[in-house]
Amino acid sequence: MSHFVDLILPLPLEKRFTYSLSEDEASFVQPGMRLAVPFGKNRIYTGIVAEVHQNPPEVYEAKPIHQILDEKPLLTKEQLKFWNWIAVYYLCSEGEVMRAALPGAFLLESESIVKLSKEVEIEDVELNDDEYLVIEGLQRQSSMKIQEIEQLLDKKKVLPVINKLVDKNLVSLNQEIYEQYKPKELRYVRLNPAYEAESQMHQLLDELSRAPKQREIVLSYFGLTAKKKNALKVKDLLKETGASAGVLKSLLDKNIFEEFHRETDRVSFEGEITNHSIKFNEYQQRAFDQINSNFQDSKICLLHGVTSSGKTEIYIRLIEQALEEGKQALYLLPEIALTTQLIKRLQNYFGEKVLVYHSKYSLNERVEIYRHVLNNNEKGRIVIGARSCIFLPFQDLGLIVVDEEHESTFKQFDPAPRYHARDSAVVLGNIFNANIILGSATPSMESYFNADHNKYSKVELTRRFGNVLMPEVEVVDIKTAHRKKKMTGHFSERLIDEMKEILKEGEQIILFQNRRGFSPVLECNTCGHSPQCPNCDVSLTYHSHNNQLRCHYCGYHIAMQHQCMACGSNEISTKGFGTEQVETELKALFPDAKISRMDQDTTRGKHSYEKIITAFEAHDTDILVGTQMLTKGLDFRNVGLVGIMNADNLLNFPDFRAHERSFQLMLQVAGRSGRTKKRGKVLIQTYNPHHRIIQQVSTGDYEGMYKEQLEDRYQYHYPPYYRLIRLTLKCRDFSKTNDAAEWLARALENVFDRYVLGPEFPPVARIRNEYYKNILIKIPQKQSLGKTKNVIHRILNSFKAIGAFRSVRVIVNVDPQ
Ligand code: ADP
Ligand code: ZN
Ligand code: ZN
């Protein structure tokens, strides 16, 4: 009898590909294992076994496989099922899911580049001859291709050798240079133990009598460590004594003090578990009980709790519960880089059971986490991370937490699979029959709608923990303020007064501005020209720190212009404003305050984000100016005022979700204010003080916002009433883009009639010299999603068969955000 295997290959192929197996191979191979197989011309790929069977393919002759890479399946059957769901739902190939789902180190192929891992000691590892040769080769040249290794070892089948080396953590594959995630380190000093005894201590102080400044530091050290007898942060010591770093250095040089570093945030937790018992307040207890009783008959619960109501503590208890039942737990977050505070909280509670899965980690670290989860180890019982975590090989998942479930970054934008991690997590949870908790202070319309229609259960938490009041919101009408000349730059008199008050009281301020950069565009007052990017259809934006005009889409930049490039006039002004300009104005208004800025431009560097946050937490900064980034899960104790510089550019964004998003964003930023006893304050500057959304933010009226927006969505046929699929065509040729879009839209209209919108150019219709055009398909609730997708699929296949449109790419986005 002949044996065959269907493989998922990491390529955008529509179907699985069938290979033949020998009798021996067939008795060994199981679904979820990796096989190396030839594909196309002389290329080797890693494929995943989806099915072993006896049916030869109909249209081609099955080739034999190259070799088997695993001894045990690397994927569970639940994962295979899940991959298939993603591919079908998001209209992409299983191969594309595979690329997104597996750490690159698992995807050995003939094009793979092999490099030595930096972090390893080769002397300590046992190697066989082949492995030794490869390592030795890699010590001579920095990287090798698989073919070169084949020549080196003088054999054809080298992938198992590489595979072993990857497992031993000695080499890495396909690395773009991944930034090693290194936790931030703090400087500490401690007294040389030689001086610890009373007598030595006195002798030391005597010796230092002629160096009074050094003596003072030593005395302060004794004072500060009296109770704990341990080390001190350098920063604290210097602050206490007012001494200079030079004086401390003398003490270090004399070996009186010893210096060392401690990490503030650890990937793998080594500290003590500090927080053993949470005592809920009555509202948390009630919510917790309700959630549990809801889980009895419905597996998905929406937790709608205002900011700082203690949702995280509830998640922790739910996780604990899942662990007690011997199950695994997954904690999904919109953006991992922004959540060191939360990770610390979980690690304090669960210790090394928590693993963080981070796209910034090296491939090898990701492989390690993958294996922990696959083997259902104690380590990795709880995985916390951003969207790609849903692809880990869970064995027995008991709980999924989706924190800040409203965040649009849960949706992958590019490349395929363009999946929504929240929605996919719901499906993953169903596969395991796991409990799912979606939490937010400002739920997405979709989730709230689902709760409204009893698809999800819902639990509310309406009070902040510890009786902290919700902040008081004041709306400042800047139209009137401008007219009455009560504006200084972009600051109203009200905002300035309030800021002065807060600073006087020693509290901190957060200012939110939705744009980065200084002043988005330059405009000629004479002819109206603004400098454009030659590659994209956008104006260049002005960045004052390097005096450049930059394109935010492709990075093109030129020096700042002082004459109009079109008419030569000197009358150039800047239109709109961003975080950088707010910062500049602030420095003039509050010359004594310590100001820092957080946006994409200031957080590019390694750990720059953490530095900004740590400085703000330590109150080294008085005022923090920033974009959206500020809204994400930060818990600052001492913020007395949040200022929203301009609500209008949020509200006026051309998108059907703009109002919902503005509400969420403003309420989340507002939630950063007043997290302790004293009531916090929020000032919103706007040209439209009577806008419904502004009013709803002022009163924290989620329900009102929801009802009103829902009516609009109903009337204009948008989610949650209608589903959307967006097709984006792109091509370097303008008229081809147009023709192709027309053809596709007509073909779709033949079937879906008035539910096809466009083709239309998006707001930025050309990026990196490619033209873009969108077609939107609306799907009414009662129309079958499966059938609709089949039709789209068929039409796309006919489209691809048209020679003239060969250079046009079509991107399919299901549930675009
Ligand atoms: P949310 O996630 O709803 O924004 P958090 O869980 O972060 O709220 O709680 C807000 C603050 O209150 C945190 O500093 C947290 O440590 C504290 N807190 C919440 N619940 C408790 C509790 N039961 N006991 C002690 N402190 C709590
Ligand atoms: Zn001009
Ligand atoms: Zn550009």
How far, in Å, from the CA of 683 to the mean position of ligand 3?
35
Helix (H, G, I), strand (E, B) or coil at 809: strand
Measured on CA atoms in the order 444, 449, 454, 459, is the torsion positive or negative? Answer: positive
Atom 5 of ligand 1, nearest CA residue: 310
So what's the pLDDT on residue 172?
A: 78
Q: Judge if 282-464 and 472-518+578-712 fold alike in CATH terms.
A: yes
Please give the class, per CATH, of domain 472-518+578-712: alpha beta
Residue to substitute in 278, 465, 636, 667 for testing ligand 1 pocket (most ligand atoms within 8 angstroms of CB): 465
Question: Whose atoms come closest to the Cα of 530: which ligand?
Answer: 2
Cβ neighbour number for residue 529 with a 10 Å cutoff: 16
φ/ψ of 36, rounded to 5, equals: -90, 130
How far, in Å, from the CA of 281 to the mean position of ligand 1?
10
φ/ψ of 87, rounded to 5, equals: -60, -45
Residue among 466, 334, 316 nearest 399 (CA) = 316
Please give the class, per CATH, of domain 110-177: mainly alpha
| Spatial separation of the C-alpha atoms in residues 539 and 520, rounded to whole Å | 8
| Spatial separation of the C-alpha atoms in residues 588 and 762, rounded to whole Å | 39
| Spatial separation of the C-alpha atoms in residues 74 and 99, rounded to whole Å | 14
Which neighbouring-strand residues pair with 760? 774
Q: If you search the block for the tokens 């500020």, which residue do you land on?
A: 630
Domain coordinates in residue numbering, the chain: 3-106, 110-177, 193-255, 282-464, 472-518+578-712, 519-576, 723-814
705-728 pLDDT, tens digit each? 999 999 999 998 999 999 999 999
Residue among 382, 393, 387, 454 nearest 425 (CA) = 387
So what's the pLDDT on residue 591?
A: 94
Neighbours of ion ligand 3 (CB under 5 A): 533, 535-536, 551, 553-554, 556
Q: If you search the block for the tokens 């990017």, which residue do you land on?
A: 533
Question: Whose atoms come closest to the Cα of 636: which ligand?
Answer: 1
- Can you say which residues are annotated as belonging to the binding site? 524, 527, 533, 536, 551, 554, 564, 567
Residue to substitute in 313, 319, 345, 634 for testing ligand 1 pocket (most ligand atoms within 8 angstroms of CB): 313
DSSP string, 369-434: HHHHHHTT-STTSEEEESGGGGGS--SSEEEEEEETTT-GGGB--SSS---BHHHHHHHHHHHHT-
Inter-CA distances, 483 with 475, 683, 687, Å: 17, 19, 11
Cβ neighbour number for residue 326 with a 10 Å cutoff: 10
How far, in Å, from the CA of 548 to the mean position of ligand 3?
14
Look at strands 548-550 and 557-559 and give their pairing. Answer: antiparallel
- Residues having CB closer than 6 A to ligand 1 are 278-281, 284, 305, 307-313, 465, 635
Average pLDDT per 10 consecutive residues for the chain, totaling 817 residues: 93 91 94 90 86 94 90 95 96 94 79 73 76 83 81 84 84 51 60 80 84 84 66 79 83 85 48 66 96 95 94 95 96 78 85 83 75 91 93 97 94 93 97 97 97 96 88 92 88 95 93 72 79 82 83 83 88 79 92 88 72 85 87 75 89 84 91 78 92 94 96 93 96 95 96 92 86 94 92 95 94 95
Q: Are residues 169 and 131 in contact, defined by beta-carbon separation less than 8 angstroms?
A: no
Atom 4 of ligand 1, nearest CA residue: 308
265-290 pLDDT, tens digit each? 333 444 555 555 678 999 999 999 99
Residue among 223, 371, 159, 404 nearest 303 (CA) = 404
On the question of a cis peptide bond just before residue 720, with omega within 30 degrees of 0, the verdict is: yes
* 14 class by beta-carbon count within 10 Å (0-12 exposed, 13-18 middle, 19+ buried): exposed
| Spatial separation of the C-alpha atoms in residues 355 and 367, rounded to whole Å | 12
Q: Which CATH number fits domain 3-106: 3.40.50.360, 3.40.1440.60, 2.40.30.10, 3.40.50.300?
A: 3.40.1440.60
So what's the pLDDT on residue 266?
A: 34
CATH topology of domain 723-814: Alpha-Beta Plaits (3.30.70)
Quickly list H helices, 505-628. Answer: 579-589, 608-617
Cβ neighbour number for residue 255 with a 10 Å cutoff: 10
How far, in Å, from the CA of 539 to the mean position of ligand 3?
9
CATH superfamily of 282-464: P-loop containing nucleotide triphosphate hydrolases (3.40.50.300)
So what's the pLDDT on residue 468?
A: 84
Report DSSP state, residue 388. G
So what's the pLDDT on residue 799?
A: 96
- Can you say which residues are annotated as belonging to the binding site for Zn(2+)? 524, 527, 533, 536, 551, 554, 564, 567
The beta strand positions in 544-601, using DSSP E, are 548-550, 557-559, 572-575, 595-598
Which secondary structure element, helix H or strand E, spans residue 658, and what is its range?
Answer: helix 658-670
